[in-house]
């Protein structure tokens, strides 16, 4: 019998790879789980259902610009890069067919008042991005006032979300405030992936 704090059996074995802010990981390994902890950040989990290959990213839009042409400034360009990078990597290692993609999104919590609800801006960004690209969202766990741990099996597409207690949320909030206060926008490293 499983206890309230235990993981489903599928997530309680195999290799776990942590996805940190700015990361994008792809795999088709059946025994691999991607894991991340989110506050205001967003993680998208994208899987090619036919090829059983999937991946997870993790990004934070740290500031909003005043420009109406580019509502979120350089940070949105990073968010768009993070989404395009993940989708393109899954397409290139999978069947290459957009219609085979299944997308799940997580995060965007309001865990610290000093972040001016970055989480809500992140949610709006990821929904607008996916809608503009024509991708439906298969499932989501967005918003709220708590941090969450997300586990994702790229081979099967199963996801598990655990809402974290206030102590864990406070730690995540401190890390995000430090990043936002530096106004750090990670400059993406371009590789051989063609962005669409």
Over residues 140-152, the pLDDT tens digits come to: 999 999 999 999 9
**Number of separate domains in the chain:** 1
Mean pLDDT of 36-60: 96
pLDDT at 78: 78
Q: What is the CATH number of the domain that holds 172?
A: 3.30.1330.200
CB 179 within 8 Å of CB 62 = yes
Label residues 168-192 b or e (16+ Cβ within 10 Å = b).
Answer: bbeebbeebbebbeeeebbebeeee
Please list, in sequence order, all residues whose beta carbon lies within 8 angstroms of the beta carbon of residue 65, skipping any fewer than 6 positions away: 71, 72, 73, 74
**Residue 21 lies inside a defined structural domain of this protein:** yes
Give the confidence band of 60 by pLDDT, cuts at 50, 70, 90. Answer: confident
In the chain, pLDDT over 70 holds for what percent of residues?
70
Tell me the C-alpha distance between 162 and 129, whole Å. Answer: 25
**Residue 5 lies inside a defined structural domain of this protein:** no
**Residue 92 lies inside a defined structural domain of this protein:** yes
**Residue 187 lies inside a defined structural domain of this protein:** no
- For helices 73-93 and 118-133, the axis angle rounded to 10 degrees is 50
**Residue 6 lies inside a defined structural domain of this protein:** no
pLDDT at 73: 53
**Residue 195 lies inside a defined structural domain of this protein:** no
Report the Cα 40 to chain-centroid distance in Å.
10
Mean pLDDT of 130-135: 96
**Residue 4 lies inside a defined structural domain of this protein:** no
Apex 103 CA angle, 159 and 15, nearest 5: 40
Apex 60 CA angle, 31 and 196, nearest 5: 75
Mean pLDDT of 77-94: 92
User: Which has the higher per-residue pLDDT, 183 or 168?
Assistant: 168
pLDDT at 190: 41
**Residue 63 lies inside a defined structural domain of this protein:** yes
User: Which has the higher per-residue pLDDT, 179 or 139?
Assistant: 139
What are the distances in angstroms from CA 72 to CA 30, 78, 137?
37, 10, 22
Structural domain containing residue 107: 14-181
């Amino acid at each position: 019998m499983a206890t309230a704090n235990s993981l489903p059996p599928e997530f309680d074995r195999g290799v776990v790879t942590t996805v940190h802010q700015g990361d994008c990981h792809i795999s088709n390994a059946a025994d691999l789980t991607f894991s991340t902890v989110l506050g205001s950040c967003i993680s998208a989990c994208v899987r090619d259902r036919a090829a059983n290959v999937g991946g997870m990213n993790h990004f934070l839009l740290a500031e909003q610009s005043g420009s109406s042409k580019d509502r979120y400034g350089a940070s949105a360009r990073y968010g768009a890069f993070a989404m395009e990078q993940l989708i393109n990597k899954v397409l290139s290692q999978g069947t290459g067919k957009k219609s085979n993609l299944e997308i799940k999104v997580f995060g965007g919590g309001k865990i610290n008042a000093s972040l001016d609800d970055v989480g809500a801006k992140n949610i709006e960004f990821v929904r607008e991005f996916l809608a503009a690209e024509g991708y439906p969202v298969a499932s989501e766990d967005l918003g709220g006032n708590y941090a969450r741990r997300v586990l994702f099996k790229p081979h099967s597409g199963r996801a598990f979300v655990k809402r974290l207690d206030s102590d864990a949320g406070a730690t995540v909030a401190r890390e995000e405030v430090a990043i936002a206060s530096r106004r750090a926008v990670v400059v993406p490293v371009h590789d051989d992936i063609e962005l669409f």
